[in-house]
Structure 1
Amino acid sequence: MSRLTVPTRADVPNGTQGILDGIQKQLGFAPSMFSTIAANPAVLEIVMGLQGSISRLLDAKTRHTIALAVSESNGCGYCLAMHSYVSSELGSMSSDDIELARAGSSTDPRRAAVARFVQKVVDNRGQVADSDIAAVRGAGYSDAEILAIVTIAVVFLLTNYINNVNQTVVDVPATTGQAA
């Protein structure tokens, strides 16, 4: 059972209801994470703003890989379910790609380097070694892209922390190829 109160639809301001409607339209369902965050409309706007902003950084599969690797490192079951669903249903990632991302790897060498790097960033609270930076650079990422990688990881840390604190009940549909 979630630890924070989910406001009723009637308790959510009209502008916030519009945000929730947009999420439902985009995903095909209204995840409880967003309904819970709607208890504080400013927080919902911040989370949605950050998620919208990172959509301009790197390609979608790399962002999905980062989300899965970060969520695995944080042990966020809700975020793993959500990002597995989004990666599979909207991001065209195979179940093998999803499992590899969670393990800090990928069939794509560049994405594998990113997945390993973000797990080190999370596990070491940003205190990575010079060799970790060299490895991601060696995979072809510029310093500007490394900044994007860290930024994306931190945005997913935020939702991981919210859902871990809340113990959000998983309400995400099973992905194609995943047992229900």
Structure 2
Amino acid sequence: MKTIQVPTREQVNEEAQALFDQLQKRLGKVPNLYATIGYSAHALQAFLQFETSLNQGAFTGKEREAVALVVSQVNGCNYCLAAQTMAAVKRGLTQEETLLIRSGRASDQKMNTIVQLAKSIAENKGKSAQNLLAQFFEAGYSEAALIELTGLVTVRIFTNYVYALTAIPVDFPAAQPLPYALQEQPQS
């Protein structure tokens, strides 16, 4: 099987190099996953534009990180769990909150509504239980917010799948394993 390597700046085309330069300036580095997406300048540019646009929508930074965490947990993406845990803590979530969110719950009711719906969308390939949709709207969210939530789930699925296909090295501190007490227990 072919091993996918993280490309250097010199190994990608000029368009991707310009995006790498922007990332370097903004983040202080080009994360391995972004660099790997950079094999296709079109894919990297589309991903960055999609994510940037969604960051200006209905959800706060903490809520966006919560969506990223729960979707990455559903998809078992160690890269995104590491990166998004670090980002979530920088946005003010505690390590304990990140673990609870990864389990599909949040202590804040409004955040819990978002997390449960995002988890359901990811697990059910875009479908969700009607009660979770009803709770989302009852919490005060609009149809526009539902579409943006779908976008947030989708953008994270993209990065989760890129990692699943490439298994590139994780260049962030590993996320803590989900404690057994927070893992879903089979119904008896």
* Coarse TM-score class (shorter-chain normalised): 0.7 to 0.9
Give 2:83's aligned amino acid. Answer: M
- TM-score, with structure 2 as normaliser: 0.84
CA distance in 2, matches of 1:109, 1:26: 33
Secondary structure, aligned partner of 1:127:
coil
Matches within 5 A, 1:30-69: 30-57=30-57, 58-69=59-70
Tell me, in whole angstroms, the C-alpha distance in 1 between the residues paired with 2:121 and 2:23. 29
Long gaps (5+) in structure 2: 177-188
Identity, in percent, stands at 29
Q: Report whether the alignment pairs 1:168 with 2:168.
A: yes
**1:24-35 alignment, distance < 5 Å:** 24-35=24-35
More deviation in 59-68 or 18-27?
A: 18-27
- Structure 1 runs of 4+ off > 3 angstroms? none
**Paired residues, what number?**
174
* RMSD between aligned residues: 1.9
Ranges in structure 1 where 5+ consecutive residues have no aligned partner: none
Return the alpha-carbon distance in structure 1 between the equivalents of residues 23 and 115 of structure 2: 27
Residue 84 (structure 1) aligns with:
85
| One-letter code aligned to 2:67 | I
Contact 2:5 2:168 (C-alpha < 8 Å) held by counterparts: no
Higher alpha-carbon deviation: 108-117 or 3-12: 3-12
**Residues 33 and 163 of structure 1 are in contact (CA less than 8 Å); yes or no, is this contact kept in structure 2?**
yes
Kept in 2: contact 1:110–1:140 (CA 8 A)? no
With normalisation by structure 1, the TM-score equals 0.88
Shift in Å, 1:140:
2.3
CA contact (8 A) 1:66 1:114 kept: yes
Secondary structure of the residue aligned to 2:3 is coil
Distance 2:133 2:30 in 1: 38
2:3/2:166 contact within 8 Å kept: yes
Of stretches 63-72 and 166-175 in structure 1, the one that deviates more from structure 2 is 166-175
